């Protein structure tokens, strides 16, 4: 099975080499009504610069945290992470907030009462982000990733402000079937059993959202998906790269 997954990954790389842009598998019932928010300006090989997700702008991307103010990310004490970054999300109508992300966290740093219900475990890769909406308060995103398709059932992910919780699930397949990739190609966000947003994190990225979302909920979900688009880029070799 592992050899088959490697072949699937190789096939995906060959597709990229041949300029074939693959699309992740999206739940059919969700895709029938979902609105695609075009992703433009996102660098394929560098995790820097501004980019657009529909009418939203991901801007002010910096490695490290410059605008935390009086609170700590995720309300955790003594956060230890190999990668930290921040960016702002702007909606074109005057709303803007900063999103703070950290990946490759030590699980011992993740002990806090934030509304996220994931039980941490060793030997996982953790990614967390934090932001505050003036309307719906503080939001916390956490993913716990075993790092491969064969252990996908161990993956856990949530985006929560205590009163509302979206679960996050990884997607390993492209549209059209075929073998799963060994690495995550995107994520689904669910409210209960219903998919409300999906993000493809490979290639230039793709985003779909439910048209029924209220403006604040849409911006909250876009914030989480934008952070995951940058998180996947941080997993690449970043020597010599700069955030603008």
| Strand residues in 64-152 grouped as ranges (E) | 81-90, 96-105, 125-133, 137-145
Residue 225's φ and ψ, nearest 5 degrees, are -70, -35
User: Tens of pLDDT along 37-64?
Assistant: 999 988 765 555 789 999 999 999 888 7
In this model, does residue 76 exceed pLDDT 70?
Answer: no
Cα(71)–Cα(121) distance, integer angstroms: 25
- The DSSP letter of residue 60 is E
User: Tens of pLDDT along 93-111?
Assistant: 989 999 988 877 666 556 5
Cα(195)–Cα(46) distance, integer angstroms: 30
- When pLDDT is cut at 50, 70 and 90, the band that residue 72 belongs to is low
Mean pLDDT, the chain, as a whole number? 79
Q: What token pair was written down for 220?
A: 């909250």
Cβ neighbours, 10 Å, residue 130: 25
Q: How far is CA 174 from CA 9, 43, 64, 145, in A?
A: 11, 21, 33, 19
User: Tens of pLDDT along 217-231?
Assistant: 999 999 999 999 988
* Weakest mean pLDDT among 9-18, 41-50, 75-84: 9-18
Mean pLDDT within 197-221: 95
pTM of the model: 0.81
Q: Are the C-beta atoms of 111 and 80 separated by less than 8 Å?
A: no
Q: What token pair was written down for 61?
A: 């991307």
In this model, does residue 205 exceed pLDDT 80?
Answer: yes
């Amino acid at each position: 099975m592992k050899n088959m997954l490697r072949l699937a990954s190789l096939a995906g790389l060959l597709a990229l080499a041949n300029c074939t842009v693959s699309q992740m598998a999206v739940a059919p019932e969700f895709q029938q009504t979902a609105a695609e928010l075009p992703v433009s300006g996102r660098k394929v090989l560098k995790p820097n610069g501004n980019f657009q997700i529909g009418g939203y702008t991901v801007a002010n991307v910096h490695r490290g945290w410059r605008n935390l103010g009086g609170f700590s990310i995720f309300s955790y004490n003594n956060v230890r992470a190999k990668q930290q970054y921040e960016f702002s999300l702007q909606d074109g109508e005057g709303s803007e907030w900063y999103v703070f992300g950290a990946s490759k966290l030590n699980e011992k740093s993740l002990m806090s009462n934030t509304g996220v219900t994931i039980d941490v475990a060793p030997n996982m890769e953790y990614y967390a982000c934090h932001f505050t909406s003036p309307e719906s308060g503080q939001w916390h995103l956490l993913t716990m990733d075993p790092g491969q398709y064969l252990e996908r059932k161990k993956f856990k992910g949530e985006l929560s402000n205590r009163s509302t919780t979206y679960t996050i699930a990884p997607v390993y397949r492209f549209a059209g079937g075929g073998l799963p990739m060994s690495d995550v190609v995107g994520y689904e966000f669910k409210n209960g059993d219903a998919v409300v947003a999906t993000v493809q994190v490979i290639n230039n990225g793709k985003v779909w959202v439910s048209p029924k979302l209220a403006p604040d909920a849409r911006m909250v979900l876009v914030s989480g998906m934008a952070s995951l688009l940058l998180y996947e880029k941080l997993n690449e070799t970043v020597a010599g790269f700069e955030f603008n």
